[in-house]
Each structure stands twice: as C-alpha cells, then as structure tokens.
C-alpha cells in the first residue's frame, strides 16, 4: 500500500514521485520510501523502487527538493523521518540522539533518481533538542529560494510536536544540503493549530507557508516569513481554503510575468472528498479561482506545474492505499476591473457632506 505522496519535476521535464510503502494503512509500521519516474508528463510511470529501508524503523513524511543552483546543483534531496517501529508521534521522546526519538534523515541522488545515497542523520540541524517530541518534514516538497539575501537557500517546511500541540517552522541549508539549521515556530493563531505544511517563495522574496489545521474552524492556516524562514507571522485562517484537517499541496510558477500560486486539497470542511485546486494571483492574499481535480475520496496531494497551462497533481484516493496522478488546467486569472470612465468636463460634481473624504 502507498501513502504520503511527493512529486518534483527535474530540469528538462522528467518527474520523480515519492511515497511511503506501507504493509498496512497504519502510519507507523515497517514503512519504506519508494520512487517512481515519468518522462511523459505523468502519462506513464516506472515501477516503484525502494530508496530507503531501515530495519526496525518506520520511514515517514518524504519531502523532496531539487537543488537548482549553488553547491550540488542538479542533486535531488529527500528529507524524511525515522520512527521506532510501533512507536509513533504520541510515543517518541524529546532529544536529538538515541533510538527512542523521531529522527530526521536525508538521502540524495546525483543521477536524476537512478541511484540514491545511504540515509544521513540531520536531526540535530532540524529539531529543537528540548521539549520537542515528533517532527514532520512537509510532507510534499521543499523549495530553493531565488532572490534576496538568502538566494540559494534550500528550505524545508516542518511541524513539531508534542502530539496535538503542533507548531510549524522551517529548516534550511545554505550549502546544498550538507548542513542544516532551523528557525522559530510561527506564533499560534486563533482558532486551532497548524500541522502538515508546505511553502512557496512569493514574487517579493517573502515565503508563504500554508498548513493543515487542527481545531481551526475548517480552514487552512497560513503564515509569512520575510527573513528567509527564521521567523514567521502569526498563523491566520485562510477563508478561501476549506480543510477537513488534511495535508494540502502548494506550488508556484510565473506565467506571462504574473506569479500563480496553487493549493490542492479536499474541497470540503468535513470530509476528505472532492479534490480541488485553488489559485492565487496576489501572493496568497486571496484564492479567487478553482478547478476540480477529482470527485469522491481525495486525501493528501502535491501539485507540480508541467508547463504554463497544466498542473499535475499526485494525490491519494483516500483510505485505499492508492495514489493517482491527475492533470488539470491552470486556472485563468480573473479579468481586471474596468477603468473608471472620466466624466465630461461640464458634469456636475457629486454632492458631499461635511467630513466626507
């Protein structure tokens, strides 16, 4: 059975898709990580191959990113967690060493997914040493910043426990994934908390994170960083993005000089059904356009722009252990409002009352 999708396009067009290979639908077991590839925009896929398998550990939350510039340009990184088998989020202990903790590991490929490195432990660079029990990278994708003082930074969105008291934050690498550091969590917003989270760089160089909500009134929550992920604004409910409490995907692309950000998830506040893609044309301030991805059961999802016209969405068919890839059209920006008509020069001005302005 497969759960927890991630997909990233490589330079030149190929897609790499990642998931957890699970013996059952349970979150914690003897989960491995697998990869499949497509060279025809997701029409056909290679057979899944195991890229990480650690006896006695459950591997969770793949979060993939391609290094496009700087050290290790061309490398694909996958960050993920390792739990003791049978000991999940509510069981693991605080700390950054030992067998009873939630570890964060990374694997990489320098040959477009053909071969993969052995897992490397980066827990100390991505997790607070005190108080924090579980962490989760994404799941989904990370990003590499392109402008400002932190250009080239690889940023992975995270959440951290204790269980049911999660907070969202970011970890990053400024040397192509060799070393890692992390910032402060986003202040809690009311109502509810953020959990599984994705990020995009906005056109002005700031970073938008959109997260799954718990107890948040059926709306996704968002936060913004203007210092490369070190600090974040308070989490705020996103009125346009319904969420039944399910991971959702995020991606961006500049099309005809205008940035388009898309978010994917269930189109319901109460059930994981009716997969929907929403589009924002103002950096996530509003989400005025949407398109249906799939009717019926729909859970975790990750979008990837295939070109200026199409978005491919790797998504779960909820509670079946099946992952599908669906291509939808990029929503069209709404028409700009018509310019006001200039009144004739002899028109009578409107009446005013004292205090009008």
Residue 57's CB: how many other CB atoms inside 10 A? 22
Report pLDDT digits (tens) over 267-288.
999 999 999 999 999 999 999 9
Q: Is 211 helix (H, G, I), strand (E, B) or coil?
A: strand
The domain 2-245: what is its CATH number? 2.120.10.10
**Which pLDDT band, with edges at 50, 70 and 90, does 204 fall under?**
very high
Residue 145 CA, distance from chain mean position: 14
Which has the closest alpha carbon to 318: 250, 251, 252, 245?
245
- Calculate mean pLDDT across residues 6-35: 94
Task: Report pTM.
Answer: 0.93
Q: Give the integer Cα–Cα distance in Å for 223 and 205.
A: 14
Whether 355 shows a pLDDT value over 70: the answer reads no
φ, ψ of residue 326 to 5 degrees: the values are -125, 135
Which has the closest alpha carbon to 159: 189, 185, 190, 120?
185
**Which pLDDT band, with edges at 50, 70 and 90, does 347 fall under?**
very low
Reading across the β-sheet that carries 273-280, which strands appear in turn? 249-255, 258-266, 273-280, 289-297
Two tokens at 127? 């997790």
Two tokens at 330? 């990029």
* Unique residue bearing structure tokens 């059904």: 273
Structure confidence at residue 339 (pLDDT): 52
Structure confidence at residue 348 (pLDDT): 37
> Which of these ranges, 143-152, 179-188, 325-334, has the smallest mean pLDDT?
325-334
Handedness of CA 116, 118, 119, 121 (dihedral sign): negative
Structure confidence at residue 332 (pLDDT): 87
Q: Is 122 helix (H, G, I), strand (E, B) or coil?
A: coil
* Unique residue bearing structure tokens 């059209």: 329
Which has the closest alpha carbon to 166: 126, 213, 103?
213
Secondary element (H or E) of residue 58: strand 57-66
The average confidence (pLDDT) of the chain is 93
Structure confidence at residue 336 (pLDDT): 60
Q: Give the integer Cα–Cα distance in Å for 326 and 274.
A: 13
**Which pLDDT band, with edges at 50, 70 and 90, does 168 fall under?**
very high
Domain ranges of the chain: 2-245
Q: Is 125 helix (H, G, I), strand (E, B) or coil?
A: helix
**Rounded (10°) CA dihedral 91, 96, 102, 104:** 170
Tell which phi-psi region holds residue 122, choosing left (phi > 0), alpha (psi between -120 and 50) or beta: alpha
Whether 335 shows a pLDDT value over 90: the answer reads no
Structure confidence at residue 337 (pLDDT): 54
């Amino acid at each position: 059975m497969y759960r927890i999708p991630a997909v990233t396009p490589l330079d030149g067009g190929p897609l790499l898709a990642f998931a957890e290979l699970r013996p059952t639908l349970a979150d914690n077991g003897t989960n491995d990580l697998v990869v499949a590839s497509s060279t025809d925009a997701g029409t056909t896929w290679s057979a899944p191959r195991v890229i990480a398998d650690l006896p006695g550990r459950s591997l969770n939350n793949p979060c993939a990113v391609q290094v496009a510039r700087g050290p290790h340009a061309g490398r694909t990184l996958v960050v993920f967690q390792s739990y003791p088998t049978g000991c999940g989020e509510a069981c693991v202990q605080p700390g950054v060493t030992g067998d009873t903790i939630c570890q964060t590991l990374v694997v990489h490929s320098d040959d477009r997914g053909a071969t993969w490195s052995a897992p490397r432990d980066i827990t100390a660079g991505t997790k607070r040493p005190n108080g924090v029990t579980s962490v989760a990278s994404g799941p989904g994708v990370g990003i590499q910043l392109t402008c400002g003082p932190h250009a080239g930074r690889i940023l992975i969105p995270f959440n951290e426990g204790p269980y049911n008291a999660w907070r969202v934050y970011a970890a990053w690498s400024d040397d192509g994934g060799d070393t890692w550091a992390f910032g402060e969590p986003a202040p809690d917003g009311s109502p509810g908390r953020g959990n599984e989270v994705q990020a995009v760089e906005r056109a002005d160089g700031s970073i938008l994170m959109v997260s799954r909500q718990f107890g948040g009134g059926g709306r996704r929550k968002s936060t913004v960083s203007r210092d490369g992920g070190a600090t974040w604004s308070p989490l705020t409910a996103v009125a346009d993005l319904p969420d039944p409490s399910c991971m959702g995907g995020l991606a961006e692309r500049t099309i005809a000089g205008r940035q388009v950000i898309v978010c994917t998830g269930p189109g319901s506040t109460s059930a994981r059904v009716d997969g929907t893609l929403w589009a924002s044309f103002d950096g996530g301030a509003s989400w005025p356009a949407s398109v249906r991805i799939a009717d019926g059961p729909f859970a975790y999802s990750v979008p990837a722009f295939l070109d200026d016209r199409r978005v491919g969405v790797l998504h779960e068919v909820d509670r079946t252990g099946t992952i599908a890839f669906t291509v939808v059209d990029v929503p069209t920006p709404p028409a700009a409002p018509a310019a006001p008509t200039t009144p004739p020069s002899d028109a009578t001005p409107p009446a005013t009352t004292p205090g009008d302005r």
